Amino acid sequence: MSTTNGPLQGLLVLDLAQFLSGPSAALRLGDLGARVIKVERPGGGDICRTLYLTDTDVGGDSTLFHAINRNKESLAIDLKNADDLAALKALITRADVLIQNFRPGVIERLGLGYEAVKTLNPRLVYAGVSGYGEDGPWVDLPGQDLLAQSLSGVTWLNGHEGEGPVPLGLSIADMLAGHVLTEGILAALVRRGISGEGAQVQTSLLEALIDLQFEVLTTHLNDGRRVPTRAGFRNANAYLAAPYGIYPTRDGYLALAMMPLSQLAHTLPLPALNNYSAADAFTQRDAIKRLIANTLAQHNTAHWLERLRPVDVWCAEVLDWPRLLQSPAFQRLHMLQTVQRGDGTAVHTTSTPVRINGQRAQSARAAPLVGEHSAVIRAEFGL
């Protein structure tokens, strides 16, 4: 399926956002068929263009920018220039969705806050991502992923008991906030189809991370607000009992999910596990995990998979990226694609995780150069 015939075909999205969270929401809408015009500063464009994860540069932009901004057009607009601002406002009257992630108060000072834009286009779905909400004591803090993780409490779920907090090794706050924003935008578009009215959709990095923890936070709120104790050995979840964790084998690593200890006692075999009750799986978690680790280290991962999977022990080999990409299970998903920019720059990247009617949307268009489509867009919309 091409993105040109996706379910959002015919909708126009203006992406005024920078970095990751807002642009990732625009990316999802584009994968679903919407036309996405990225509005950038002339010259430098989105700051994410120079936010490098490694020393790899592809066509003058970071790999991060390419990943987040494929399948978009670029319109160069100077928001401090009166003519450019007027042109943008004219374009807003034709748009279905606007996405922005300016710091709270900035976009209002530019005259593009929700109340002002609503008068231009009452049908517009106006979506915004902030760091920690639009007001309150944290409103002026930088909306950055590691900072949001640190404030959210999520870093205390990782690592081992006795160690300090450990952040997730991904921009999880940005990516989740983008997904949450997309969910809200789609809901507002459905409602607009019924009522004819647009809406304002808001979320923040903090709210996305709180939602990520809804399962464990609900436990915390209902068990006397006790702080969970991470395992001191092979921790994988601060709340779950042994054997839950990742263990070294003779040649790699094996993940074990939740299961009765009696099941492992029989299948490993490890009769010593029969000496522990279900309650012990929590209170003596580290001791039990050490017993299991000593046993698993005696054989290769393949040996354990052949032994444990046929008897429905929930386990999996731990793969790195090269082995994942080579696996038939991954390859059959067809989640990789190569996209190309107008200047010939080719980028290898991922595809949308959504399949509609059995088809995964594909688009050959890479992330744009700054203002690459300005002349065409201005002519099309009479800006």
Predicted local distance difference test score (pLDDT) of residue 5: 79
Residue 117 is assigned to a structural domain of this protein: yes
Distance CA 349, CA 345 (A): 13
Q: Which residues contact 100 (CB under 8 A, 6 or more apart)?
A: 16, 17, 22, 107, 112, 127, 128
Q: What is the value of pTM for the model shown? A: 0.93
Distance CA 101, CA 128 (A): 5
Query: Which CATH number characterizes residue 115's domain?
Result: 3.40.50.10540
Within this chain, do residues 19 and 129 fall inside the same structural domain, yes or no?
yes
Within this chain, do residues 175 and 201 fall inside the same structural domain, yes or no?
yes
pLDDT digits (tens, 9 = 90+) for 154-186: 999 999 999 999 999 999 999 999 999 999 999
**Active site members:** 174
Within this chain, do residues 296 and 264 fall inside the same structural domain, yes or no?
yes
Within this chain, do residues 341 and 268 fall inside the same structural domain, yes or no?
no
Considering 295, 317, 339, which residue would you say is the last residue of a domain? 317
Distance CA 383, CA 374 (A): 10
Within this chain, do residues 134 and 275 fall inside the same structural domain, yes or no?
no
Residue 221 is assigned to a structural domain of this protein: no
Supply the range of the domain harboring residue 127. 3-212+331-381
Predicted local distance difference test score (pLDDT) of residue 185: 98
Distance CA 162, CA 142 (A): 29
Contact call for residues 349 and 336 (beta carbons, < 8 A): yes
Within this chain, do residues 44 and 177 fall inside the same structural domain, yes or no?
yes
Q: How many domains does the chain have?
A: 2
Tokens of 25: 């929401």
Within this chain, do residues 289 and 172 fall inside the same structural domain, yes or no?
no
**Would you place residue 256 in the very low, low, confident or very high pLDDT band (cuts 50, 70, 90)?**
very high
Within this chain, do residues 35 and 83 fall inside the same structural domain, yes or no?
yes
39 vs 16, 61, 76, 98, 273, CA distance in Å? Answer: 5, 16, 6, 10, 61
